[in-house]
Structure 1
Amino acid sequence: MLHPLTTQLVGSYTKPTWLIKHNEIYRLGGRAWLIESDLLEGAQADVARLSIYDQEKAGMDLLTDGEPWRSAWDRHFISRLGGLNIARPANIVVPPSEIDTVKFKEEGEWSREDDDGLPRVVGPIEWLEPITVKELEFAKRQTGRPLKTQIVGPFTVIDRLADEYYHDELELAMAVAAALNKELLALEKAGAAVLHIDDPVMHSRFSRSKRLGIAPIERMIEGLTRPTTVHVCYGYAYSKESKAPSPTYPELLELLASVKGLTAMSIEYEQPRHQPDLLRHCGDKHVVLGLLDLGTTNIETPEHIASRIRDALEVIPPERLHPSSDCGMWHLPREVAFGKIRALVRGTDIVRRELGLPTSWPMTCS
C-alpha cells in the first residue's frame, strides 16, 4: 500500500478554533471543546468531511480523517483503557522534555493545564473495546482513497500515567503495548490501509527509550499484516518556537531501524532543518519524511519540496521514501494547511515526473 513517494499527513489536519480551544487540548473530560455536547459529534463529523475533502482536492495519496474526534491524541486513547482512574487523577505533572535543542514559546501562549493531573494506574491495563474503529468506518464512507489510522504509542502513554499498580516501567509499557495491539488489530480488520503509531516521547525522553528498548514497540505491532509506521518528533510546533537538530535523534532512528516487523519510521525533518545524512540512520525501513514546517504559516513552494526530496533520494530510494507533513497540522488555519499539502503534492509530482513515475497511484481502500 506504500507506492514510491506516497504523499500523506502525520495524523491531524486543521481543527478550527470554533471547534476547540487550542491551548487547552489536554484538559481531561473533553473540556476543551467549544460545541455543546448534543451538537459536538455532528460538528466533528463535518470537520472530518472537510479534512478528507481538502486532502482529496490537494491530491494526497494516503488520507487521514484529520483527527477531529480527538482533543489530545494521547488522552483520546488513555481515557478509554481499563485499569485507570480518570476521575481522581494524581496531583503530578508530565516530566520535562530532555530535548534541549527546542525553544518553547513564551508562557501564556500554550497552556498544558496539568492541574488536571495524570490518570492513575490502579489495576491491569486492558483494552475494553474498539476506540477508533468507528472513526475509520466514518472516514471510509466519505472516500474511496486508502486511509491511514493513527494511535498513540506505549512510551507516550506511560509518560502520561501515574503508576500505582505495576511499579515497573517496562512491565507497564508492555501491558500498554498489548492493549494497544488489540486496537491496531481491530483497525486492520476494519480496513485501515496503513497503521500509524504516534510516539513522540520516544524522543523527548530518550534516556528511558534506550533503557526500555524496542520490546514495547515490537509487542504493539505483533501479528499485524498491514504496513506499520512509528512517528517520532520534537513536539508540536504550536508550543515550540524553534527546533535545532537534536544529537539524540539519529540514535533514536537507529533504535527504530532495529524493530522487527516495522515497515516505516515517520520523522520530523523540515522545521529542525535536518539534512540527508540523518537518513543514513534509518536502515532499510521506509521513511515518511516531514517536509512541511508547521512552525510557520508560510507556505512552502513546490520547488522547495522537490529540492528536499531530490536530496533525500541520494540516501533513500524512491520506493522507500514518502513525503509528509512534519507532524500534526491541527493548529494551522485551514487555508494555510491546504496550501501546504497542495505544495507537498505538487513538489512530489515534479520529482515523480523526473523519475518517470505516475503522478497518482490507483490506490483504494480494502
Structure 2
Amino acid sequence: MKTLLPTSTAGSLPKPSWLAEPEKLWSPWKLEGDALIDGKHDALRVALQEQQVAGVDIVSDGEQTRQHFVTTFIEHLNGVDFEKRETVTIRNRYEASVPSVVGPVSRPKSVFVEDAKFLRKQTDKPIKWALPGPMTMIDTLYDGYYQDREKLAWEFAKILNQEAKELEAAGVDIIQFDEPAFNVFFDEVNEWGIATLERAIEGLKCETAVHICYGYGIKANTDWKKTLGSEWRQYEEVFPKLQQSNIDIISLECHNSRVPIELLSLIRGKKVMVGAIDVATNTIETPEEVADTLREALKYVDADKLYPCTNCGMAPLSREVATAKLNALSAGAEIIRKELSA
C-alpha cells in the first residue's frame, strides 16, 4: 500500500556536536581516521532514527558523512586541485574560496555508494540520496582547464551518471540532484542545464528528482532574497522545459517564500516535493501551517503526486529545531491525508 503524501527532507540534517561544529556549513570534522568513519556511521544512524521517530516516510542519510553538498563529491574526483584555490562568486551571491579544475575530470571510484549501502541495511523505508547537479557543481569551482561552463557540465553529468547507477544498484529508491543554480542562470538552464541533468539520469530505473531552492538559511542567501521583490518568479523561467524533461520529481520551496503557488501549474503531471518547512528561521511551523501550504499546492498538483518536504537542507539549524520542524511536517501531512480520505 503506497503512502499518500509521503514526507521527506530536502537533504541535510544537523550533525551531532561530537562529529562537527553545529549550526555551521563546511564545519570541520572533530574526529579523524577510523574514529571519523565510525563517527559518520553513528551520526547517520542517529539522523535516520530522528527521521523515523518524526514519521518521515522517505528517509535519507541527512548528509552526515559529507561536509558540504557539492564539494564533498568533487573532493573524490581526479582533475580538481583543492590546494590551488581561487575566489569565485557563487550563484551571483557570495564569494567563496573554491578548488580549481586543473585537468580532465574523472571519478576513480564511487563516492557515496558504501554510505548508501550502509543506510540501506538500517531501514526498510524508501531512501532518497542527494547528489549535486552538474550546473551547481561548475558554479562551485574555478575552471582553469576547460574554461567552458557547458563542456565541464557535460563531463560532470557523465560522472554523476556513473555514481547514480551505482547508488541505484545499492538500493536507493530516489536519486535527487541539487540544482540551486537553476534559480539563477536561466538562459544556461534552458540551453544546456536541463540537458546535462538528463545525461546524469540516463538509464536509471529508480525515481529521479531535481531540487531547486533559494538556498540554506545563511546570511548571503537571506540577503539575496530581500532583493527579489514581492514575487519570486524564477521558477517560471525553467518549469516549462523541466515539465517536458525525463526527471520524475521536482522539489521546490513554497512555505514562507514569495513563490506564487500557481507556478506549480507549469509542471502539472510531474510529482512535486513541496517545501512546506522554512529552513531560514528557527520558528517552528504549526501542523496547521504546513497543512495550509499543502492545501494551496493541491490546487495545482494531484494528491498522488504531492510529496510534502522541507524547503532546503537543515544543516545550519540546531538539532532541536530541525527535529521539531520534522514533527510539524509529518503532523501537517497527516491533517491533509485525513481530509482527503474523508
Alignment of 1:161-310 (within 5 A): 161-239=141-219, 240-241=221-222, 243=225, 245-259=231-245, 261-310=246-295
Alignment of 1:1-366 (within 5 A): 3-21=3-21, 25-26=25-26, 32-89=28-85, 91-97=86-92, 114=96, 117-239=97-219, 240-241=221-222, 243=225, 245-259=231-245, 261-356=246-341
> Do the aligned partners of 2:13 and 2:62 also contact (CA within 8 Å) in 1?
yes
- Alignment deviations for residues 39-82 of structure 1 (CA, whole Å, 9 cap, x no partner): 22222222211111111111111000111111111001111112
Quick one: structure 1 residues 333 and 354, their matched pair in 2 at CA, closer, same or farther if it must change by over 3 Å?
same
- Name the CA distance, whole Å, in 2 between partners of 1:57 and 1:23: 22
Q: Secondary structure at the match of 2:283?
A: coil
- Alignment deviations for residues 282-302 of structure 1 (CA, whole Å, 9 cap, x no partner): 232111000001111111111
- Name the CA distance, whole Å, in 2 between partners of 1:153 and 1:142: 27
Quick one: structure 1 residues 23 and 297, their matched pair in 2 at CA, closer, same or farther if it must change by over 3 Å?
closer
State the AA in 2 paired with 1:162: Y
- Alignment deviations for residues 335-357 of structure 1 (CA, whole Å, 9 cap, x no partner): 21111111111111111112128
Quick one: structure 1 residues 2 and 79, their matched pair in 2 at CA, closer, same or farther if it must change by over 3 Å?
farther
RMSD value, Cα: 2.2
> Do the aligned partners of 1:3 and 1:319 also contact (CA within 8 Å) in 2?
no
> Do the aligned partners of 2:13 and 2:63 also contact (CA within 8 Å) in 1?
yes
- Alignment deviations for residues 130-187 of structure 1 (CA, whole Å, 9 cap, x no partner): 1001111111222221111111100011112222332322111111101110000000
State the AA in 1 paired with 2:73: F
State the AA in 2 paired with 1:147: I
State the AA in 2 paired with 1:126: S
> Do the aligned partners of 2:272 and 2:306 also contact (CA within 8 Å) in 1?
yes
Quick one: structure 1 residues 198 and 266, their matched pair in 2 at CA, closer, same or farther if it must change by over 3 Å?
same
- Name the CA distance, whole Å, in 1 between partners of 2:41 and 2:250: 29
- Name the CA distance, whole Å, in 2 between partners of 1:136 and 1:96: 29
Give aligned-pair identity as a percent. Answer: 35
- Name the CA distance, whole Å, in 1 between partners of 2:282 and 2:23: 18
Q: Secondary structure at the match of 1:149?
A: strand
Alpha-carbon offset, residue 38 of structure 1? 4.6
Q: Secondary structure at the match of 2:89?
A: coil
State the AA in 2 paired with 1:224: L
- Name the CA distance, whole Å, in 1 between partners of 2:24 and 2:326: 26
- Name the CA distance, whole Å, in 2 between partners of 1:349 and 1:166: 50
> Do the aligned partners of 1:126 and 1:179 also contact (CA within 8 Å) in 2?
yes
Alpha-carbon offset, residue 270 of structure 1? 1.2
- Name the CA distance, whole Å, in 1 between partners of 2:109 and 2:24: 27
- Name the CA distance, whole Å, in 1 between partners of 2:9 and 2:205: 21
Gaps of 5+ in 2: none
- Name the CA distance, whole Å, in 2 between partners of 1:63 and 1:289: 16
Count of residue pairs the alignment pairs up: 336
The 4+ residue runs of structure 1 with deviation greater than 4 A are none
- Alignment deviations for residues 216-243 of structure 1 (CA, whole Å, 9 cap, x no partner): 0110110001110000111111333363
- Name the CA distance, whole Å, in 2 between partners of 1:34 and 1:266: 32
> Do the aligned partners of 1:122 and 1:165 also contact (CA within 8 Å) in 2?
yes
- Bigger shift: residues 147-156 or 36-45: 36-45
Normalised by the length of structure 1, the TM-score is 0.85
- Name the CA distance, whole Å, in 1 between partners of 2:269 and 2:5: 16
Alpha-carbon offset, residue 254 of structure 1? 2.4
Alpha-carbon offset, residue 199 of structure 1? 1.2
State the AA in 1 paired with 2:15: K
Q: Secondary structure at the match of 1:323?
A: strand
Q: Secondary structure at the match of 2:87?
A: coil
Cross-structure match for 1:107: none
Q: Secondary structure at the match of 1:94?
A: strand
> Do the aligned partners of 1:73 and 1:152 also contact (CA within 8 Å) in 2?
yes
